Structure formats: structure tokens, C-alpha cells
Structure 1
Amino acid sequence: MKRVVIGLSGGVDSSVAAYLLKEQGYEVIGLFMKNWHDDSVTISDECPWLEDSNDAMLVADKLGIPFQTVDLSEEYKSRIVDYMFHEYEKGRTPNPDVLCNREIKFDVFMKIALNLGADFVATGHYCRKGRIEKNGKTHYQLLAGVDANKDQSYFLCQLSQSQLKKSLFPIGALTKPEVRDIATKLDLITAEKKDSQGLCFIGKVKLPDFLQQQLKPKEGFIVEISKESDLYKTEIPNFKTEEDKLHFLSKKTEYQLEAGKIIGKHQGAHYYTKGQRRGLGVGGHVEPLFIIDTNVDDNIIYTGEGKDHPGLLKKALFIANDELHWVREDLSLHLGETMEVQARIRYRQPLQKATLHKVETGLYVAFEAFQSAMAEGQFVAWYIKDELIGSGVIS
């Protein structure tokens, strides 16, 4: 019997995944990851991980599989939380879920599982794993989940071939209603449990509340930039090369205080992110106000009225070489090469037609249609059909 260690989170997805593995004849061990107990940062009045770990234990008991809790809070703090604070301080917007998968579940957790003699590590993600032989070599594929509404391949966009090789995704071919149905028939305690919201594996916390406990409040101006601003009337030059054009299309607009009008005050530019519309507390506009940029050095938030504001829209983005990742290394581009793909810049965004252009310093992703609120620090992932083949951090 092959041994599988599954991350039991106390939710319905991992519960059903554990059951399916057992049905398939694996020897299954359930591990619950405890990722937070730092009293200097209050997460919430409740203690969500205790409830989750209790649910995970009851599921393991019901399924008749061994269960234990592993404390990864030290690694979680250094690899995820500290990184997030550092990124927000720089005015970037990290994605904790993508990082949690790359750094914790499929690295720290995977090493623990392999030390327990596991052949594979399993999770309750809605995605699938494929494998193909090419020139005598095996390549593992990260495929979208069958349930388009729940597909979580984007969150795994930083996985490597060695991580995929050892991974299993038992529920990737099911829809969420089918998963709940199985859990109900088995009378699992998690059958009706709501999907967890908030930070990956930390629980019921809203990101701004979490950030405010580490990044101190600092009053600054909210500035509105008009759609008609001269900043958006730049004449498009004649480009000598395609790279010059891509550089122009992906270039960040530089805003100054004088370019707009002061319409309010905020408590710290590092709490906000591009594309955000809630939490500004400024009224008197026909259309909603969106954040079009933040300047953490000058502590200014720049906003624009309406979702079609030119400050929100861009057709290209850049990824530096050190933040570029290929899940399928055999498909990676060489200098001067291009590739037609479908890409997304956030979870659940419908896939968009795009072309990748490899240049000396990194990779440009040029979209066919304008994209809204490309935030530095977020991940862009690209696909061929339903296979996620690479990703990178938006520079």
C-alpha cells in the first residue's frame, strides 16, 4: 500500500479527499497544520484553529485514519507573515494563499510528510494532476479543476515539478456540490461547514485588521486624479523595437500630489491596494472611487472615479527574471521567443488572451484586452488550454 499524508484542514474538501484516498486503497494519515499562535498579533476573539483542528480530528476518527497536529507557526511567521508585511511596506500586494502553498503546504509540510515515509502528499484543492512522456522524460501537469467555479489551480501556480510529482488532488474531478453530497452521505461533521475566509490557514481575520497591528497608522492624503488628466494624454511614440513598445505599455504612471485634488485623509497608504474601492470613506461621487495607485514613501493614495478610469487600465505587465516561474520547465521561453497563452492576474478572473515575450531581463505578458488594477506583488499565471504552465510576480 502506498502511504499518503493528507493535510486535514477541518474543512469539507480535505475531509472528502481523505475518504476518496482511503477508497482508492492508500494508507492515509491525516495531519492538521497549526500555523499561528503569536499573541502579539491578535487574530480574532475566537480561536478558529482549535475548532478546525477538532473537526479534522473527528473526521479522521470517523474515517479510521491516524491523525496528528503539526506546529508550523514558526515557519509560517518567517516565510509568510514577515514577507507579507515587508511587501505591504514596499507598497506591493502579495498573495498569501499562493505563498502558503509554495512555502508551507508543498515545502515544509511536504518534507514532514516524506519523513513519515509518505509516497505522496494530498490536499483538498480543486485542481488535477496529469503526466505526459516527452523525449523519454516524465513531465507532470497542473490542470484546472473540473468545477470551473471552484478551480484553484491559480493558487498552486508556483509549484515545481518535484512538488507536483509527490502531490495528489483527489477532489479535482468533482464539483463542490458533489463533494458536499459525499460528506453528507458519510455523515461527516464538516459536510455543511462554510468555506473558510480570511488568511490562508490563519482563519477568520481580515487582512487590513491584521496589517494594522504591525504596520503603524500614519495619516496621509487621498488625492483624486481626473479621467481627463494630461497624464493620460501621452502621445504614443514610434517604437524602434517590440520590446520598447512593451516597456511603454507596461510602464507605471508616475503621480504627483499636484496632479489632482485632495479629497480626504487616510490612515496609512500601506493598508491599501490598487483596484480597491471599499474603506476610503469619501462620498459625493456619481460612480465609485477606485484606488489607482499608492505611494508609501510620500504616504499618498491616488484615486479615480469609475471602473473605466484610465489609471486602472493596462494592456501589458512585466515580470523580472528572478520572479519568473515555469511549472512546465520544458516549455519555458528563450530570449526573443513568444507564446500565445490564456492568462489571469487574480483568482477567479476569467482567462484572458495574451502573448508572452521573453526578453533579457524577464518576461512581458501582453494582453489582447485592457486589464484592470494590475497590482505589483500579485501573481499572473498562464495556461495552455486547461493546463497551468507558468507564473510570475507582477513587477
Structure 2
Amino acid sequence: MKKRVIVGLSGGVDSSVAAYLLQKQGYEVIGLFMKNWHDDSVTISDECPWLDDSNDAMLVAEKLGIPFQTVDLSEQYKERIVDYMFDEYEKGRTPNPDVLCNREIKFDVFMKIALDLGADYVATGHYCRKTTLTKDGQDVHQLLAGKDPNKDQSYFLCQLSQEQLAKALFPVGELLKPEVRAIAKEQELTTADKKDSQGLCFIGKVRLPEFLQQQLKPKEGVIVEIPKDNAFYNETVPTFNSKLEELQYQSRKPSYEVSQGKIMGKHQGAHYFTKGQRKGLAVGGTVEPLFVIDTDVKENVIYTGQGTAHPGLYKSALFVSNEELHWVREDLALDTDETMQVLARIRYRQPLENATLHKVESGLYVEFENPQSAITEGQFVAWYLDEELVGSGVIS
């Protein structure tokens, strides 16, 4: 009996080639397209609306001679991704919908549909790899970085569980992007030269402020520039009685007030902005460009600083609460007071940085060797041992 794999055909080149490779490996392959969105008013219509994508996915399935159907997951998508995003922005946090989409939609709702259709596995076009080792008589699945350093997408899968990985296949993880395109050309797949889609997973390009404005009403507030010599940045570092005290100090959030800086302009809502953001402030006349160093959604104030070296952008530690801590490798989870040397990143495409994990009673601190720019609440931090992603969490 051939093993059955259901491929999430997105209408892009990566998932198309994933389907072809699985077919070549002797699997019974079925293509499924996820429709996650109905509202065309906020998508930039000529930038990959779902209709074109589902059409391309269908043409690829036809070319490969595999069964194809579309599943409508827009209700679950709205509930689990869109509502969550609005909620996070309203709290002044910056969510990562792509990480959530993988955990909640592709490897949960979609996976359940696939298993109901008798699938042994679900496959996607992600650039990452999976291996399985045996430990104490149990199968342990490892999530490894993709072979292509420019395309490694393991970060987006940082919230997957052992159960989800057990049923997942990533056929293009061993390839470089140009090799994937070459295979698609060779097989005359319609997606061979298609541009990679940008924007929200499976929605296409969205104008984020307009998208957010549907739910979060505009509200005028001030943009304040905090000078580099603000007292907060120059205070004498206290003496610590414990490592925990030091970590609390390193990861603390500055509390700014309007009186500490200069009003530079107006904005339409602090909840539309995120730490490290430069675009959209529309303030000129400064020597260096302004970057958002903090937002206060309660008082509706955006705090900014000049230049990429502004001290308000940097911190050397962050905290993840127990509720938002996730181990892909549950067998490696730390107990209170344990530490682990890791490589970590706080956003996709960021080079991995040396860091130490410190498990405390209430959660986990990630302490970086070098200060990190724009550590943003609501985003995910992921940590690795060599090439293997072992855990992640939401930055508090």
C-alpha cells in the first residue's frame, strides 16, 4: 500500500515542487488548497489574491495528474488568526500571524481534514527539514533548518509539537531555492517563475494599517522623540544579589513620559505601530531618521529615537512566561534553575545569536551575548542547538 500524503498546494513554486517530489518518491499525493479569506477590500488586488493562487494550484495538480480540491477555512482563520491579531495589536503587542497560521491552521485544522481523508502525512513547501531519532525507545522528531541559508523557514514552524511533526513532511528542505525553480521549469509547472508571495500567510499582500483600521478605530495622538542622553540610559547599573535580579533588570521595559522628550508630530493610533518601525511616522527635519522605541496604547503615545544606534532600541535579555513557553523537543525542556547555551533569533531572517536560557519559576529568560535591537512584545523568540530548533516562546 502506498502511503497517502496531502500537500497544502498554495499556488506557489515551493509547494508545487513538494508535490512533484513526493510523487516521484512513490507516495499517493493529493493536492488541497486552503481558502482562508473572503474580504477583498483590504487585499491589494493585483498582489496574489487567493483566486489566482487556487487556479495555479489546480493547474499544477492537473499537470502532475493528482486529485485536487479546495477547502474553505476562512471561518477558523478569522477566529484563530485575524481576531488574535486585532486583540494583540490592541494590547500594544505585535503578533506574528505566520507562526500562528502554521500552528493553528496548516498543522491543526488542515491536518485534521487531511487525516480524515485517510492521509498518513501532510506536506508543505517550507524550507526546513525533519529527522527522527529514537530516545528511550520513543521516536523523537527533530525540526532542522532548511539547507538554503537564505530561505530557512524553520522559525515559522517554531510552535509545532511532536504530534504535529510526526505527521509532517518537508520535501524541499534539502534543496536550494534555485534548484526548486529549476525542477519546476523542467517539469513545466505553471508556477516555475511565479514570484514568492509576500504578506499574510494565505491571504496575500494586505495593507496592514487599513486592515487594522477595520477593527481598531483611528485615534489621534502625539509622536515624541526621546533624546539619546535620557537619564534612563545612563543610570548606574545596580549591584545584584542574584542572577534573577540581573535578568529582571536587563529585560525591564523603560517607562517613558511625554515630558522627557520633544513632540515631533501626530499619529492616528499607537496600536498601528511597532517597535523598530521607521516607515509611516511622516516626521522630517531630524539629522537621522526616527525609529519607534516604544508605544503606549493606553495613553496613545509613540516614543521615537534618532538613528539605528539609539539606546532605546537595545536590550540584552527578554522574558517568556510559562503560559507562552513551548518546547518542540519536550525531552530537552529545562527545569527551574537550569540553564542552556543556545543560538536564538527574535525574528525571521535574523542571523542566529549566541544566548543563554535561564529557567525560573515563572517562565524563561533569554539572555543574549550581544544586545538585540527592537525586541518586540508579542513576537516569537526561537532557540536552536546547532541546526535544530528546540523551542520557542512569545516575548512578554
> Which interval holds the TM-score relative to the shorter structure?
over 0.9
Q: 1:131 is aligned with what amino acid?
A: T
Task: State how far apart, in whole Å, the 2-side matches of 1:333 and 1:231 are.
Answer: 33
For the pair 1:10 / 2:11, whether they are aligned, the reply is: yes
Distance across 2 between alignment mates of 1:109 and 1:322? 25
The residue aligned with 1:221 is 222
Q: Is the contact made by 1:29 and 1:67 (CA closer than 8 Å) also made in structure 2?
A: yes
**1:202 corresponding residue in structure 2:** 203
3-state SS of 2:311 partner: coil
Residue equivalent to 2:314: 313
Deviation at 1:106, TM superposition (A): 0.2
Question: What is the rounded CA distance, in whole Å, between the counterparts of 2:216 and 2:205 in structure 1?
Answer: 19
Residue 216 of structure 2 aligns to a residue in which SS? coil
1:334 is matched with which residue?
335
CA RMSD of aligned residues (A): 0.9
Q: State the partner residue of 1:158.
A: 159
User: Partner of 1:355 in structure 2?
Assistant: 356
- Superposed CA deviations along residues 265-313 of structure 1, whole A, max 9, x for unmatched, are 0011000000001111111122121000000010000000011111000
Matched to 1:44, the amino acid is I
Contact 1:16 1:183 in 2 (8 A): yes
Report what 1:106 is aligned to.
Answer: 107
Contact 1:199 1:206 in 2 (8 A): no
- Give the letter for the 1:151 counterpart: D
Aligned to 1:42: 42
User: For the residues of structure 1 that align with 2:179 and 2:45, how far apart are their CA atoms?
Assistant: 33
The aligned residue for residue 117 of structure 1 is 118
Residue aligned with 1:57, SS: helix
Quick check: 1:352–1:367 contact (8 Å CA) kept in 2?
A: yes
- 355-364 or 235-244: bigger deviation: 235-244
- Asked if the contact 2:18/2:171 (under 8 Å) is kept, the reply is yes
Q: Which moved more, 1:197-206 or 1:315-324?
A: 197-206
Q: Is the 8 A contact 1:126 1:144 kept in 2?
A: yes
1:234-253 CA distances to partner (integer Å, 9 max, x unpaired)? 22111111000000000000
Tell me which residue corresponds to 2:179.
178
Aligned to 1:188: 189
User: Which residue number in structure 2 is paired with residue 367 of structure 1?
Assistant: 368
Distance across 2 between alignment mates of 1:315 and 1:168: 36
Residues of 2 paired with 1:209 and 1:185: CA distance? 41
Distance 1:259 1:53 in 2: 52
Distance in 2 separating the partners of 1:303 and 1:42: 28
1:380 matches 2:381: yes
**Equivalent residue, structure 2, for 1:242:** 243
Shift of 1:212: 2.0
- Aligned residue identity for 2:140: H
8 Å CA contact 1:5–1:122 kept in 2: the answer is yes
Q: Which residue does 1:134 correspond to in 2?
A: 135
Q: Greater CA deviation, 158-167 or 284-293?
A: 284-293
Runs of 5+ consecutive residues of structure 2 not aligned to the other structure: none
The aligned runs of 1:211-290 (5 Å cut-off) are 211-290=212-291
Distance 1:66 1:187 in 2: 18
TM-score normalised by the chain length of structure 1: 0.99
Opposite residue 35 of structure 1, the aligned amino acid is N
Q: Report the AA paired with residue 235 of structure 1.
A: T
Inter-partner Cα distance in structure 2 for 1:220 and 1:310: 24
Q: Hey, what does 2:147 align to over in structure 1?
A: 146
Answer whether contact 2:44 2:207 (CA < 8 A) is retained.
no
How many residue pairs match? The answer is 394
How far off its partner does 1:134 sit?
1.2
Q: Deviations over 1:123-151 (max 9, x none)?
A: 00000001111121110000000000000
What's the counterpart of residue 62 of structure 2? Answer: 61
Amino acid at match of 2:335: H
TM-score by length of 2: 0.98
Indicate the percent of aligned positions where both proteins have the same amino acid: 73
The CA deviation at 1:157 is: 0.1
Once residues 123 and 208 of structure 2 are traced to their aligned partners in structure 1, the CA distance between those partners, rounded to angstroms, is: 27
Secondary structure at 1:32's aligned position in 2? Answer: strand
SS in structure 1 at match of 2:312: coil
Counterpart-to-counterpart distance in 2, 1:307 and 1:141: 36
Secondary structure of 2:288's counterpart equals coil
Equivalent positions of 1:59-98 (< 5 A) are 59-98=60-99
Kept in 2: contact 1:199–1:207 (CA 8 A):
no
Structure 1 counterpart of 2:389, one-letter code: L
Q: In the alignment, is the contact (CA less than 8 A) between 1:292 and 1:373 conserved in 2?
A: yes
Distance 1:87 1:234 in 2: 32
C-alpha distance in 1 between matches for 2:201 and 2:270: 23
Deviation per residue, 1:215-254 (Å, 9 max, x gap) = 1111100000000011212221111110000000000001
Letter in 2 for 1:216: K
Find the aligned partners of 2:220 and 2:238 in 1 and give their Cα distance. 39
Amino acid at match of 1:257: V
SS at match of 2:19: helix
The one-letter code sitting in structure 1 at the alignment partner of 2:305 is G
Moved over 3 A (4+): 44-47
Unmatched 5+ residue regions in structure 1?
A: none
Structure 2 letter corresponding to 1:157: C
- With 208-217 and 153-162 compared, the bigger mean Cα shift is at 208-217
Q: Is the 8 A contact 1:225 1:259 kept in 2?
A: yes
3-state SS in 2 of match to 1:311:
helix
SS in 2 for 1:390: strand
* Superposition deviation, residue 43 in structure 1: 2.4
Output one character per residue of 1:5-54: Cα deviation in whole Å (capped at 9) or x when no partner. Answer: 00000000000000000000000000000001146x53234571000000
